[in-house]
Amino acid sequence: MSHRYAFSLILAILFLSGAFLTGYHHFKLNIPLLPGEKQWLWVVDAKIEFEALNEAVKVALSLPDNPPGFSKVNQRTASPGYGLSFVNRDERYVAEWTSRQATGRQTLYYKVELQKVHPRLPTLPIPDVRKVQWQPPYAAVAERLVTTAYRQSADNFSFARQVIQSLSEDSGEEYAQLLLTAQDKHQTIIDILHQAKVPARIVKGLYLEDGRRRQQLTPFIQVFEQEKWQLFDPETAQQGIPDNLLLWSNLSQSILEVIGGDNSTLTFSMVKHHLPLHQMLSPVQDAFPMLGFSVAALPVEEQAMFKNILLIPIGVLIVTLMRVFVGLRTSGTFMPVLIAMAFIQTSLLTGVVGFVIMIAAGLLIRSYLSHLNLLLTARISAVIITVIILTVLFSLLSYRLGLTEGLKITFFPIIILSWTIERMSILWEEEGAHEVLVQGGGSLLVAVIAYMVMSHPLIKHLTFNFIGLQFMLLALIMVVGSYKGYRLLELFRFGALRNNA
């Protein structure tokens, strides 16, 4: 009982670990489950224009730092004649341009590339709730608005919705509209919230629309309660961050500061590109340390090697299923997997023809060597050299005949072919030609099935991008290995006994 419990526990750990890693890569890193899917890349261009006053110039632009729903891929600037620094100032991430002297119309550019990722809630400081002083008659109106909204709400978020709705033009609350004659709507909302002791601030966001030019930042209201921030549209009271909204700054300070210049403007242009998955994973692994458990974190050379290696467990699973449940006999336990790997390099038809020709020619040579009574090591060495000579001759003949597919025969592993020939030759001597055909045909059949599964684009995509599947495959093979029932071919074999009974 303890043994079965331990076995079940190991299976559960393997399967759950694989499922967790697979889910993490899909939901957290946005790695698609289907091949061919692409990730979107937003390119946002900020353009700063101002009139320099023929003196020292300092320009500071607040930049998005880990905006929710986006990951920064790359950033660059175009600012000839200016020094540039990226600094942290007053809890802000700022691009700072400096010049000793500038005159006339100046134009500076900042470009950032952003990848859409799973939204992460940033850790932001709680703003201070300041004391609001209203002038008559606005004080009485603000107090009435706070009292009404408080009575019709249950928490800070619902209170903020009530305030925004009361200040909308179609609310029917004419007394509330009086407050909008004293200052702009966004500051009025903040003042009302602060009067009710609700932490809130104005933040700036940018709606991302492909191909748009000369766009402005849009102000939003952020409200805090119970260690959680919520964003509100000050026009519609809609709660939450839209998918196409980039929060450019989470702080209420000025976005653009220009010293030594007048008439400054800040506009944005944007365009959306799509890139293949492998081009997008490199920058994401900096933001997600867990990506280190993905093959995509390795150098490209190692990735190319593991792309085929990670297919081997699929072939092993196919061989296990065919031997345990079907009962096929093969020449060597996992010889079909190696043959299938060679088929992936050569293509199926070329691989099958080349394999049959090489094995048949090798068996003829091996039958002659058996009459020479050579030692095992010398005999195997002779078979290896013979296989190499046959491979060269086959390639040269194919090239001369214009059959370029025949050149791919070199992808077959020489040592494996030599051992297969040696094994089949011994089997021929001990069991006869029928057993050679049975095991050789079984190996070829399983290899073809394994090739068809391993070469499928979906299988290649999943095994390469989701390392957790290897744990799940291991658990599945262990489950299959515990099967002790009849094989499918044995049911046919003993069918006569069942009929007689």
Position 461 scores a pLDDT of 83
Give the residue extent of every domain in the chain: 40-63+70-121, 305-496
Strand 218-225 relative to strand 245-249: parallel, antiparallel, unpaired? unpaired
Q: For residues 193 and 201, what is the distance between their CA atoms, to the nearest angstrom?
A: 9
- For residue 242, the number of C-alpha atoms closer than 13 Å in the C-beta half-sphere is 15
The pair of structure tokens assigned to 363 is 């068996």
Residue 29: predicted pLDDT: 67
Rg, the chain, Cα only: 35
What pLDDT is recorded for position 361?
81
| Helical (H) or strand (E) element with 356 | helix 348-369
| Exposed / middle / buried, residue 176 (Cβ in 10 Å: 0-12, 13-18, 19+) | buried
Q: What is the mean pLDDT of each run of 10 residues along the chain (501 residues)?
A: 79 89 76 70 89 91 83 83 86 87 90 77 66 80 86 89 83 71 84 88 87 86 83 87 84 82 91 64 50 57 73 90 87 81 79 81 80 78 81 76 57 70 80 83 89 89 85 91 80 62 53
Structure tokens at 304: 């190319």
Residue 57 pairs in a beta bridge with 99
| Nearest alpha-carbon partner for 55 in 98, 84, 107 | 98
User: Residue 257 and residue 241: Cα distance in Å, rounded?
Assistant: 27
Q: How far apart are CA 421 and CA 448, in angstroms?
A: 19
In total, the chain counts a number of residues equal to 501
Integer Cα distance of 288 and 114 in angstroms: 15
- CA dist 55 to 95, 259, 260, 262, 266, Å? 20, 9, 6, 12, 21
| ∠ Cα 41 228 167 (to 5°) | 90
Query: Residue 110: beta bridge partners?
Result: 46, 77
Q: Among 266, 242, 135, which residue's Cα sits nearest to residue 191?
A: 135
Res 110: pLDDT:
92
Q: Residue 97's pLDDT is what?
A: 93
Q: Quick check: helix, strand or coil at residue 467?
A: coil
pTM: 0.58
**Residue 297: its pLDDT value, please?**
59
Topology classification of domain 40-63+70-121: Immunoglobulin-like (2.60.40)
pLDDT for 123: 58
